[in-house]
Structure 1
Amino acid sequence: MNGFDHRLLFHGETFAVVSPAGDITGERGPLPGGLFVRDGRHLSRWQLTVDGATPDVLAPGVLVPHLGRSEPPPHTVTREQTVRADGVLEERIRVDGNRAEAETVRLALTVDADFADLFELRSDHRVYDKAHAVRTRQALPDGVEFGYRRREWRAATVVTADPAPDAVEETGSGARRLVWLLELGPHGTAELVIRVEARPFDAPDHTVVGPQADDLPLAGPEAWPELLRACERGLDDLSRLLIPAQGPEGEALRVPAAGVPWFLSLLGRHALITSLFALPYRPALAAATLPALAATQATAEDRTRGAEPGKIVHEVRHGELAHFEQVPYGRYHGSVDSTPLFLMLLGAYTESTRDDKHARRLEKHARAAVSWMFAYGGLDDRGYLVYRADEGGLANQSWKDSPGAICFASGERARGAIAAASPQGYAYAALTATARLARTVWDDAGYADLLEGAARELRERFVRDFWLDDRDFPALALDGSGARVDALASDAGHLLWCGLLDRERGERVGRRLTKSDFFSGWGIRTLATGQAAYHPLSYHRGSVWPHDTAITALGLARYGLRAEATALARAVTSLAEHSAYRLPELIGGYARPDHPAPVPYPHACSPQSWAAATPLALLTAVGG
């Protein structure tokens, strides 16, 4: 099963993956089949037969009985499916008779709900103990209800139909078969409406009104129509990727989820970068993201979750395995960069909107975040933000978080307490942004002076420790011994975005990033070609991420390299044109001259929030 022969329906915390016929067969793999809500699968089978046989697919959702060439089909079945943010899937089935004779058509829909957690469906061969779990099935007058319980955990899926099925049959495998006998007159029509209501454990209130795609007109400098079209598609996806969250006082919010299918949840880094990209055009995203992350900020140490006082959360999950702490991601703080990004967004939101309400309300959260960077993050001890591999969670805790992402040019992995380059840029930007807040909003000039001094020292220290003189380029990281991790990587573009490099070095790095070993023609590779570590289909060692390219474009614009920023924007816009203007999370790093169409990455999320917001960042980059 893959994303090329299946359809994806999504809205808020709900998504469904169905076949072109409209069926669900419960596969695992890159795009698992099912109806999912809050990290749980509420439909694992949804298979339609007509007169006891599987029909042929003429077009997505348009089915006919399987017959030979000499016999035209007696009827046509049309299936229309939609999902809602509150966990409802609705299917409308219409049967149109194609002949002048009356007929009886037997429709049967086989339904089941296994309530699998998303983490069980990944292709990593892990098995999770779910002792004492009980599944139930109960016939209803108009359908069937599936139940699941495990200690205090309760979930259900309710399937109802109008008209009610003529029979609800047991299949022997635990599934149920809903059966209708439809009487069609000559060229007659019959319709069914089937409603699936997922009832996840501890479901939130879905009545909150959050930012929508048409809240504000798309503002900004003029650009080519294709880029504006990509912006509009991205805004539409963002409006449907909003999920419930709460602020510090329990207020209901909607924030951008990271992406479908694996990350339809709040990930701090993704929500923050998405909100930064969208800030000039959709400030309401930042206005929701900031208090939502303040509400989940750590207040005490918890080694099992990577939590330390002041640290901003990396990931929030609501599934069964997270609830029972079989995975650490219920509220997981395993990122070194969400905390400075939070400060960057708070400063940028205040400056962009000229509204200091959030800066005043979240002052204690911002000060706690700064304190974390020094006391726990590593600025006091190492002079940099550092992290160690988390045995129960993530091996790397910067944005390149796959196990082998932080590596030497040889491919050898960096080890020990790692100071990755991009978080140092974020730390610099966070210190300068918070200093401005302290001076202009909090009326604390002494604190502002302290932070500005720390930012200056970090800037000077970074060049001394990270700069590869022989390559005139920054190292990807420092390892636990302080050695420069010498792979040439796209993290340098993040340093430009944050202004960490001086003008001369920044211009040289910016031009270097647009050379052919970095620039594939579709975007910036995460790792330059010509290094032993490079692999065009590696997650972070040679692939192209549109959001990563957009960050570089913003950095190029910051350093006055307008032509180079425009070239990147045009490349990513061309990539969007190849995928109906929806940018994928990432693609292969193959060169465009060799591959005139983008090579997909097989496990990419799509839609994905910072990819959806990427065209907005590019619009900013090309317009200044």
Structure 2
Amino acid sequence: MTATQQCLLVRDGTFAAVGASGDVSGDLSTERGRPEGLFVRDARHLSRWQLTVDGGTPTVLVPAAPSAGARSTAGAVLTPPAGRADTPALTVFREQTVTAGALVERLRLSSNQGETASALVALTVDADFADQFELRGDHRWYEKPQAVRTRTVLPDGVEFGYRRRDWYARTVVRAEPAPDAVEHTGSGARRLCWRVRLPPHGSAELALHVTAYPHGAATAEARPGAEETPERAATARRGTPAAAPEVAGSDPAQPEAAEGAWPRLARARAQGLADLALLQVAAAGPEGEELRVPAAGVPWFLTLLGRHALITSRFALPVRPGLASATLLALAATQATAVDESRIAQPGKIVHEVRHGELAYFGQVPYDRYFGAVDSTPLFLSLLGAYVTSTGDEKLAARLEGHARAAVEWMFRDGGLAGHGYLLYHADRGGLANQSWKDSPGAICFADGTPAKGVIRAAAAQGYAYEALCRTAHLARTVWDDPAYAARLTEAADGLRERFLSDFWLPEEDFPALALDESGARVDALGSDAGHLLWTGILDAERARAVGRRLVGPGFFTGWGIRTLAAGQGAYHPLSYHRGSVWPHDSAIAALGLARYGMREEARTVARGLVDLAAASDYRIPEVIAGYGRADHPRPIPYPHACSPQAWSAAAPLALETALG
């Protein structure tokens, strides 16, 4: 880790981004696209946290890095800058732990001298309560009328407050022992100061406890001794197995050392399950019950995103069915019940994104609940059906019958199935330009790169709709005792499949179009969305084989995974978010689809690439990487600003296990 790199710690809906020394130096005037600080519910509760010893910034001997297996605790080793470099008077051992709504830091100063000494330790702290959207890199400045910030000195620390009308948040910093002095700085921050005495070759400790009290959510204050213990770490990783032992006589450097043995996949699986445990955030069910659901990722999306949580839970269903039930209940509780054009909401639609921050509260960004996704609703229905098939738990399907029927009716009434024959969205009506999983501007495009405009019927969404209708028909027959409704949905699914195979297929490419535009023209870019069509079963066997062979061919497959857009097209760009990059979850979906159609060797090819990517990434699979081919670049090339950890990438090894099973 260099001085400019960050250490990310995450736990229970809280994350901290600190520098190599453990410092935080967030500054809205210069900081964009790289958040620093302590974040809870989309707000930054700590924007400065800068340590000095004897008036200077310490030198980093060992940079801050997460401790093995925890990912919520990090340690750094520092020395004071003064004196001879080879004989520092003392060493500073710095440990930081993120817990629910809090950061706990322990500083241990260890004397390297044979006589009594002292050191002046100071910690400059501040909390600007910036909304995460202010740090997202768009260089926008948001007006905050009537906002008031306060700083109050406490006997053992300082309290920071922020109020804007009825929006209120605060951060409390307490120290043990209490600081000898609390000084004002020119920037408005506060500096906590201690004169620390050190016996010969002895040590002294300081404990700092930062507690966030976000708007709308009470957080139990951090207590002395609330550091990460082995028991607490085990609780955070509940149910997560240790990495599987290597197969006797196997070479862990090889993807498959013995027939049927994938030891590196087992390591990626263990890391993924640990990350999924850390990424869970609080949510409420339809009756207000407390739930834990998978957040999308750190740093930008430590919140509930519909399609991310649904796909993550689907991947994890064989081993963590509780994620699926919690996700379904949380999304049922946030399901739209009325039309709200500003949020792109209609009755029955499943939410795309839930936000808790100040800017969403005041409507300066897309609100606390935003429904701009065409695919969350069918994915909700598919997960419900898959959950019942996998677990046999019909009680959840019975409880959510009304929500499921409302979701189906949205697909027909507002989603477009009844009037247009396909799920559709409007690319030019505000909000996200694209509302399928490839939601960046220009992601749905023609082969030459021209963006599709107007009413868009994305291919992947039609596959989701087909599966949703099939699975919901099964629930109607087996759980809800409504054969007439089942027959209606089955007929609709058959009709959708027939239309799709006729309207979307590109005969000259032997491959499906990425979408249909408002004129009905085939958007002819060749994209990885075809793997989603395999996963959902909308293709016939002959077309599926053609798609499968193409996806593992040189245009799509990089050696690490499947490009979102095949190379060789005018639209292709290896560092574009959705027009040439590789998303591991996208490749894992394709592997599931290949296995569904009996293309086992192709599925294994994709799995090997993703396992190799995991091994090259310390077994934490990244959210997205650049689309450069492995033959020319023997190491995966990172994508800038990717989330890590990220939920559906963490769950990808579980999908691979299913595909290879």
Amino acid at match of 1:238: L
1:509 aligns with 2:547: yes
Give the one of 64, 88, 111 matched to 1:73: 88
Give the one of 89, 97, 100 matched to 1:82: 97
1:26 alignment partner in structure 2 = 26
Q: Deviations over 1:508-546 (max 9, x none)?
A: 111111101100000000000000000000000000000
User: CA separation in 2, counterparts of 1:26 and 1:222?
Assistant: 49
For structure 2, the residue ranges without an aligned partner over 5 or more in a row are 64-75, 222-233, 245-258
In 2, are the aligned partners of 1:94 and 1:192 still within 8 Å (CA)?
A: yes
Secondary structure at 2:651 match in 1? helix
1:131 alignment partner in structure 2 = 145
Task: Evaluate the alpha carbon distance shift between residue 212 and residue 563 of structure 1 in structure 2; reply closer, same or farther with a 3 A threshold.
Answer: farther
Task: Evaluate the alpha carbon distance shift between residue 52 and residue 390 of structure 1 in structure 2; reply closer, same or farther with a 3 A threshold.
Answer: farther
Equivalences for 1:138-287 in 2 at 5 Å? 138-203=152-217, 213-215=237-239, 223-287=261-325
In 2, are the aligned partners of 1:258 and 1:265 still within 8 Å (CA)?
A: yes
2:17 alignment partner in structure 1 = 17
User: CA separation in 2, counterparts of 1:118 and 1:19?
Assistant: 18
Task: Evaluate the alpha carbon distance shift between residue 204 and residue 292 of structure 1 in structure 2; reply closer, same or farther with a 3 A threshold.
Answer: farther
Equivalences for 1:551-570 in 2 at 5 Å? 551-570=589-608
Give the one of 460, 463, 469 matched to 2:501: 463
Task: Evaluate the alpha carbon distance shift between residue 3 and residue 370 of structure 1 in structure 2; reply closer, same or farther with a 3 A threshold.
Answer: farther
Q: CA RMSD in A?
A: 1.9
User: CA separation in 1, counterparts of 2:613 and 2:638?
Assistant: 11
User: CA separation in 1, counterparts of 2:386 and 2:512?
Assistant: 26
Secondary structure at 1:144 match in 2? strand
User: CA separation in 2, counterparts of 1:5 and 1:294?
Assistant: 39
User: CA separation in 2, counterparts of 1:500 and 1:357?
Assistant: 28
Task: Evaluate the alpha carbon distance shift between residue 10 and residue 390 of structure 1 in structure 2; reply closer, same or farther with a 3 A threshold.
Answer: farther
Q: Deviations over 1:568-610 (max 9, x none)?
A: 1111011111111101110000000111000000110111100
In 2, are the aligned partners of 1:17 and 1:31 still within 8 Å (CA)?
A: no
Amino acid at match of 2:590: T
User: CA separation in 2, counterparts of 1:617 and 1:206?
Assistant: 37
Give the one of 39, 44, 53 matched to 1:41: 44
User: CA separation in 1, counterparts of 2:238 and 2:142?
Assistant: 43
Give the one of 442, 453, 471 matched to 1:433: 471
1:296 alignment partner in structure 2 = 334
In 2, are the aligned partners of 1:277 and 1:613 still within 8 Å (CA)?
A: yes
Secondary structure at 1:328 match in 2? coil
**Deviation (angstroms), 1:419:** 0.2
Aligned residue pair count: 620
**Deviation (angstroms), 1:122:** 1.3
User: CA separation in 1, counterparts of 2:499 and 2:114?
Assistant: 84
Identity within the alignment, % = 67
1:106 alignment partner in structure 2 = 120
In 1, are the aligned partners of 2:564 and 2:580 still within 8 Å (CA)?
A: yes
User: CA separation in 2, counterparts of 1:391 and 1:441?
Assistant: 39
For structure 1, the residue ranges without an aligned partner over 5 or more in a row are none
User: CA separation in 2, counterparts of 1:30 and 1:119?
Assistant: 10
- State the TM-score, normalizing by the size of structure 2: 0.92
User: CA separation in 1, counterparts of 2:186 and 2:235?
Assistant: 47
Q: Deviations over 1:323-378 (max 9, x none)?
A: 11111231000000000000000000000001101100000000000000000001
Secondary structure at 1:405 match in 2? coil
Task: Evaluate the alpha carbon distance shift between residue 13 and residue 390 of structure 1 in structure 2; reply closer, same or farther with a 3 A threshold.
Answer: farther
Task: Evaluate the alpha carbon distance shift between residue 524 and residue 329 of structure 1 in structure 2; reply closer, same or farther with a 3 A threshold.
Answer: farther
1:59 aligns with 2:62: yes
Amino acid at match of 1:185: P
1:122 aligns with 2:146: no
**Deviation (angstroms), 1:65:** 1.7
User: CA separation in 2, counterparts of 1:433 and 1:114?
Assistant: 48
**Deviation (angstroms), 1:406:** 0.2
Secondary structure at 1:551 match in 2? helix
Task: Evaluate the alpha carbon distance shift between residue 422 and residue 206 of structure 1 in structure 2; reply closer, same or farther with a 3 A threshold.
Answer: farther
Amino acid at match of 1:506: A
2:403 alignment partner in structure 1 = 365
Task: Evaluate the alpha carbon distance shift between residue 213 and residue 425 of structure 1 in structure 2; reply closer, same or farther with a 3 A threshold.
Answer: farther
Task: Evaluate the alpha carbon distance shift between residue 4 and residue 607 of structure 1 in structure 2; reply closer, same or farther with a 3 A threshold.
Answer: farther
In 1, are the aligned partners of 2:240 and 2:270 still within 8 Å (CA)?
A: no
Amino acid at match of 2:561: G
Task: Evaluate the alpha carbon distance shift between residue 609 and residue 178 of structure 1 in structure 2; reply closer, same or farther with a 3 A threshold.
Answer: same
User: CA separation in 1, counterparts of 2:202 and 2:261?
Assistant: 52
**Deviation (angstroms), 1:172:** 1.6
Secondary structure at 1:291 match in 2? helix
User: CA separation in 2, counterparts of 1:174 and 1:109?
Assistant: 14
Amino acid at match of 2:26: G
